[in-house]
Amino acid sequence: MDALTYARRLPVLLLSVVSCARSGRTEQLRAAQLEKCTIVGGAANPQPSGDAVTRCLILQYDWDGKQALAAGEAYQAHLDSIARQVAAIESSAAARIHDSMNRAFRVRMAVVDRWLECALAMNQQVIAGAPYEGYVSDSIVARCSRRVRLTVALIDEYKDAHPDLDAERQWWLANKLEALQPRPSP
């Protein structure tokens, strides 16, 4: 049952609290009056407040002030309860979305970290005397790229997230960006 349907049925419940001592016919009449005062009034009045319900009951149906006030306050308490529930649901959903986005960001950053670790490790092997073919940087970029796929957007995002990268990591990312650029055909 949605909140609007529940809010429309609330007047019947409120009336039983407000006027338990009334006869069956009077109680039915009061329930109908209360329901009419709580009906959604279009775009100008999407959901009447407890004060609006109280005024409606007093002015249109000549209710006693205390009874009308009690019905209006009970109706407002119900509206406030619905608003709190909606806010809690929205807050929970926003938190889950934020957490999900953070996890996805960390995964993307880990991909670049793995590529950089590969490039740095292979470079250390070359420095230590391991054989290599062709240009060292091109060979390392190509070998590490077989293991980890990077895109220009991912590298740019990584550089934005890590403005204090050391010079060596910046140099390797620049080499990878260069390798990602389309080469003219001969």
Residue 82 half-sphere exposure toward CB, CA atoms < 13 A = 17
Block means of pLDDT (10 residues each) for the chain, 186 residues, are 58 56 75 84 70 90 91 91 91 92 91 88 77 66 81 89 88 84 69
Domain locations in the chain? 3-89, 97-180
CA–CA separation, 57 vs 14, rounded Å? 13
Say if CB 131 and CB 144 are below 8 A apart: no
> Helix 167-180 vs helix 65-127: angle between axes, to the nearest 10 degrees?
90
What's the distance, Cα to Cα, between the start and end of the chain in Å?
Answer: 68
Quote the pLDDT of residue 73: 92
CA–CA separation, 82 vs 76, rounded Å? 10
Residue found by looking up tokens 């005397």 in the block: 129
Quote the pLDDT of residue 101: 93
CA torsion, ordered 12, 18, 20, 21, to nearest 10 deg: -130
Quote the pLDDT of residue 92: 92
Which residue type, as a one-letter code, is found at position 162? H
For residue 172, give the nearest of 129, 122, 120 by alpha carbon: 120
For the record, the structure tokens of 182 come out as 């389309």
Quote the pLDDT of residue 126: 76
Quote the pLDDT of residue 131: 62
